């Protein structure tokens, strides 16, 4: 790690058609200490408004209210992490030693890709998915709707509309533990990749803790000035609204990578 003030904090959507394993896989990661936001529980806890769609047998959530509440939550988590990073003097090498040290929040839900710009989609063969949803006691209509959605890539297409990076894990022949292992491998690699992008950005602009401290007593650096210089160079800048280090520079087109167990080299992510 260079002497930058705080590392980038990454939020990753774990999404997919109902029944593809998001809940089980994220619970496995949570039990190991990864930070997970389960959107269904979050909606209940925060009384996010919704309307019942009786015909489709589901709740329709007020997405603006959800987005706002998740944004506040992310800010709080990021702040807590930064304090910890500062007091425990964590460095890049420490991030991968313990899930609690990794500056990553995973948002788990079939709505998660509307809330993040980086998503991992769990996929399951429609026949397998049909069996799982039948076992849950869903109506034939609801099973059919979800199986069709999985067959024609509804969630994946949505991800392309909303996210700058999209990854798929094909889980049909994997156990929950194996899927969790794939996901862990991917998020650690994604974090390193994001860190390298961020680090090169900071180095290019000569942003150091010393410079930042000189500019602001509060430790908050006006990163939009830095990003503006990159925009002048023709880069596409995605801002998340707040004036801090959570903003990104990336290519304009979303990238899709599929996980093939044992065959992916995530070190090539940036290429």
Ligand X SMILES: Nc1ncnc2c1ncn2[C@@H]1O[C@H](COP(=O)(O)OP(=O)(O)OP(=O)(O)O)[C@@H](O)[C@H]1O
Binding site for ligand X (CB under 6 A): 16, 18-24, 110, 132, 171, 174-176, 179
Of 13 and 245, which has the nearer Cβ to ligand X? 13
DSSP-assigned beta bridge partners for residue 248: 238
Annotated binding-site residue? 172: no
Helix (H) or strand (E) holding 149: helix 140-151
Of 25 and 207, which has the nearer Cβ to ligand X? 25
Structure token pair of residue 126: 């429609």
What CA–CA distances, in Å, run from 221 to 6, 225, 227?
Answer: 11, 9, 12
Of 11 and 20, which has the nearer Cβ to ligand X? 20
* CB-based closest residue to ligand X: 21
Three-state secondary structure call for residue 105 = strand
Annotated binding-site residue? 23: yes
Of 20 and 82, which has the nearer Cβ to ligand X? 20
Min CB(158)–ligand X separation in Å: 14
Min CB(22)–ligand X separation in Å: 4
Structure token pair of residue 129: 């998915």
Min CB(99)–ligand X separation in Å: 19
Annotated binding-site residue? 78: no
Question: b vs e for 18-38, b when ≥16 Cβ sit within 10 Å of the residue's Cβ?
Answer: bbbbbbebbebbbeeebbbbb
Annotated binding-site residue? 262: no
Question: b vs e for 123-145, b when ≥16 Cβ sit within 10 Å of the residue's Cβ?
Answer: bbebebbbebbeeeebeeebbeb
Min CB(26)–ligand X separation in Å: 8
* Sheet strands (E) in the chain: 10-15, 35-38, 50-53, 58-61, 104-108, 118-123, 165-170, 236-238, 248-250, 255-259
Min CB(82)–ligand X separation in Å: 30
Annotated binding-site residue? 175: no
Of 129 and 207, which has the nearer Cβ to ligand X? 129
Residue 172 CA to residue 247 CA, distance in Å, equals 35
Residues of each annotated binding site for ATP: 19, 21-23, 136
């Amino acid at each position: 790690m260079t002497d930058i003030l705080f590392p980038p904090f990454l939020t990753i959507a774990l999404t997919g058609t109902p029944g593809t394993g998001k809940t089980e896989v994220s619970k496995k990661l949570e039990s190991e200490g990864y930070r997970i936001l389960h959107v269904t529980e979050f909606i209940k806890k925060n009384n996010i408004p919704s309307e019942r769609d009786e015909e489709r047998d589901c709740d329709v959530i007020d997405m603006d209210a959800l987005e706002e509440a998740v944004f506040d939550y992310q800010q709080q988590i990021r702040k807590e992490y930064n304090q910890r990073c500062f007091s425990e003097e964590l460095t890049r090498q420490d991030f991968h030693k313990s899930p609690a040290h990794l500056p990553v929040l995973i948002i788990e839900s079939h709505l998660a890709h509307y809330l993040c710009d980086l998503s991992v989609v769990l996929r399951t063969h429609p026949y397998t998915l049909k069996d799982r949803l039948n076992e849950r006691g869903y109506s034939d209509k609801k099973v059919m709707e979800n199986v069709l959605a999985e067959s024609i890539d509804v969630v994946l297409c949505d991800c392309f509309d909303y996210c700058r990076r999209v990854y798929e894990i094909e889980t049909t022949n994997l156990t929950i533990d194996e899927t969790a292992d794939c996901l862990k491998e991917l998020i650690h690699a994604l974090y390193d990749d994001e860190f390298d992008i961020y680090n090169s950005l900071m180095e290019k602009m000569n942003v150091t803790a010393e410079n930042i401290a000189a500019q602001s007593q509060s430790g908050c650096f006006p990163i939009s000035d830095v990003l503006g210089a990159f925009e002048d160079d023709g880069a596409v800048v995605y801002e998340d609204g707040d004036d801090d280090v959570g903003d990104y520079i990336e290519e304009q087109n979303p990238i899709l990578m599929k996980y093939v167990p044992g065959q992916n080299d995530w070190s090539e992510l940036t290429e």
